[in-house]
């Protein structure tokens, strides 16, 4: 059997250092990629030893249980080629590759199209009956619909869609993978997973971090592009998806696209009814003073980029008609907190008038802990017929259990050819069709300001339907 190769373009970059190499090291230690040739490629004037030393330093910093004994066998899988994105330089990779190969573009998004084309021009995308070639691209997939379609056309000049793996690391997270298993493996949920029983769905991803070292990228992207168009839209499709006739990656992605196509599109005349945006000002988080977005290094003093975005979505199909899906994400908020929360409608049976009953919530928590919560009403102990809310909690993992990172899962899937957790282009395209009218409208006006360390701008409440309100991101942390 010919050896399997992983070529990382951008091998000296931050993504490779912080995420890819630690994930590959763990997979190697588990015996899952022990025969994988890992080839670093970048314009740095390094040799094999320089690259190996660079990787050693990265693993020492980012792998908690790293030790040199485990490192020895992994280091033997590493090699390096110095080169640019010119065809002549890329063609030298053929000396290292003898069989199937995965090309990972750990590059700035502006180089995705060029890299995909140049790899193809170098003849490295050509497959045979005895080996395959694949290309893996990180998000963002364009900055709007036109740029996404252009990137798609450039990639497809040398690569078939079957060879393209678009990575959204949220799809490799344990909580995301468990969402579909929990829903479809438990028959008790099947009859109530529809508008007859569900009142609303809220998907929140809150961060205490600011833009950190991503100012150049972030100020051109903003929260809507950075989080809602991809990560949160994927969580929405997996929450709303129809049951699959049988498990197949193409059928799964067909069903996700059906959801995206069923979303009621917003137009310029009613954006404020459906979407809200904000930008953080100076404040205090965890008792530490923080500066405003416009005072961050690399951010223009007059920037109107949103650091918070919220969106209400209506899905016009039989299952979800009338159920609002609320999505929001923001930086410099009060807490690192993420959840998918499904609220059920109130009980139909009559209870005494003085009995207080809150609607049930089923909550899939992503941060700060991976767990499932069911918030229900029960009798309060005592002589009187009083009630109280209780929470049934099930953690995903227990102490001592190995937790697979999203990148470990997705790298292994790409090497195996499993595409369920990767995006097909029509998913990308239809997500842009949903978001683009809002982005165009936001070219005018300014985001609402919110103080760092709070739950975001007050304008987010205006998109909520009557009797709905946002769940606090401080829930369970009071």
The CA distance from 30 to 169, in Å, is 21
Residue 10 annotated as part of some ligand binding site: yes
303 and 294 Cβ atoms separated by less than 8 Å: yes
197 belongs to an annotated ligand binding site? no
Find out whether 267 and 440 touch, Cβ atoms under 8 Å. Answer: no
Query: With contact defined as beta carbons under 8 Å apart, do 367 and 396 qualify?
Result: no
CA 308 to chain centroid: 16
Residue 448 labelled as part of a binding site: no
Tokens found for residue 71: 């490192």
Q: Is 231 a catalytic residue?
A: yes
Residues in the chain, total: 478
Query: Is the peptide bond prior to 226 cis by the omega test (within 30 degrees of 0)?
Result: no
Report the alpha-carbon distance of residue 55 to residue 49 in Å, rounded: 10
User: Is 17 marked as binding a ligand?
Assistant: yes
Q: Which residue reads 């993504």 in tokens?
A: 15
For 157-291, strand residue ranges (E) read: 164-167, 198-206, 275-281, 283-285, 288-290
96 labelled binding-site residue: no
Give burial (CB, 10 Å; 0-12/13-18/19+) of 119: buried
Annotated binding residue 79: no
Can you read off the two tokens belonging to residue 457?
A: 């701008």
Is residue 14 part of an annotated ligand binding site? yes
Rounded-to-integer distance, Cα 306 and Cα 317, Å:
31
CB 24 within 8 A of CB 120: no
3 state SS of 193: coil
Q: Is 275 annotated as a binding residue?
A: no
To the question of whether residue 130 is assigned a binding role by annotation, the answer is no
Q: Collect contacts of 180-183 with beta carbons under 8 A, ≥24 apart.
A: 180/238, 180/241, 182/364, 182/372
Residue from 156, 220, 231, 468 carrying the catalytic annotation: 231
Cβ atoms 422, 413 nearer than 8 A: yes
DSSP 327-358: EEEESSBSS-EEEEEEEEPPP-S---TT---P
Whether the CB-CB separation of 311 and 305 falls below 8 Å is answered with: no
Q: Is 173 annotated as a binding residue?
A: yes
Q: Which residues are annotated as a binding site for NADP(+)?
A: 10-17, 139
Binding residues: 10-17, 139, 169, 173, 207, 226, 331
Active site amino acids? 231
- Numbered residues of the known binding site for substrate: 169, 173, 207, 226, 331
């Amino acid at each position: 059997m010919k050896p399997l190769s992983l070529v990382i373009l951008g091998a000296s970059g931050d993504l490779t250092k912080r995420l890819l190499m630690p994930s590959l090291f763990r997979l190697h230690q588990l015996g899952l990629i022990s025969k994988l040739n890992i080839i670093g490629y970048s314009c740095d004037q390094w040799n094999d030893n320089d690259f190996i030393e660079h990787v050693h330093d990265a693993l020492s910093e980012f792998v908690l249980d790293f030790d040199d004994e485990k490192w020895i066998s992994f280091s033997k899988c590493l090699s390096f080629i110095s080169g640019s994105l010119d065809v002549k330089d890329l063609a030298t990779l053929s000396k290292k590759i003898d069989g199937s190969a995965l090309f990972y573009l750990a590059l700035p998004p502006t180089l995705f199209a060029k890299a995909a084309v140049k790899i193809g021009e170098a003849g490295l995308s050509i497959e045979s009956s005895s080996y395959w070639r694949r290309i893996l691209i990180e998000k963002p997939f364009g900055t709007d619909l036109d740029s996404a379609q252009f990137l798609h056309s450039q990639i497809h000049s040398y690569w078939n869609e079957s060879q393209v793996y678009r990575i959204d690391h949220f799809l490799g997270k344990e909580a995301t993978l468990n969402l579909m298993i929990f829903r479809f493996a438990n028959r008790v949920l099947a009859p109530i997973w529809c508008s007859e029983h569900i009142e609303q769905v809220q998907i929140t991803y809150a961060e205490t971090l600011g833009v950190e070292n991503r100012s150049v990228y972030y100020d051109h992207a903003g929260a809507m592009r950075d989080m809602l168009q991809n990560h949160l839209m994927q969580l929405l499709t997996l929450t709303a998806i129809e049951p699959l006739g049988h498990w197949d990656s193409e059928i799964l992605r067909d069903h996700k696209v059906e959801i995206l196509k069923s979303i009621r599109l917003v137009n310029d005349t009613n954006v404020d009814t459906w979407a809200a945006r904000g930008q953080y000002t100076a404040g205090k988080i965890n008792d530490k003073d923080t500066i405003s977005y416009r005072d961050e290094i690399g951010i223009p003093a007059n920037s109107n980029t949103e650091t918070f975005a919220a969106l209400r979505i209506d899905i016009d199909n039989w299952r979800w008609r009338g159920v609002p899906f609320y999505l929001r994400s923001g930086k410099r908020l009060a807490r690192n907190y993420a959840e998918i929360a499904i609220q059920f409608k109130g009980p139909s049976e009559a209870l005494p008038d003085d009995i207080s009953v809150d609607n049930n919530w089923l909550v899939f928590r992503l941060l700060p802990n991976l767990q499932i919560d069911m918030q229900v009403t029960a009798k309060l102990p005592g002589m009187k017929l009083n009630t109280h809310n209780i929470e049934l909690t099930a953690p995903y993992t227990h102490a001592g259990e190995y937790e697979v990172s999203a990148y470990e899962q997705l790298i292994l899937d790409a090497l195996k050819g499993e595409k369920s957790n990767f995006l097909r282009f029509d998913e990308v395209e239809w997500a842009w069709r949903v978001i683009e009218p809002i982005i165009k409208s936001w070219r005018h006006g300014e985001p609402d300001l919110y103080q760092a360390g709070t739950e975001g701008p007050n304008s987010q409440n205006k998109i909520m339907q009557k009797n709905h309100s946002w769940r606090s991101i401080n829930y369970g942390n009071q």
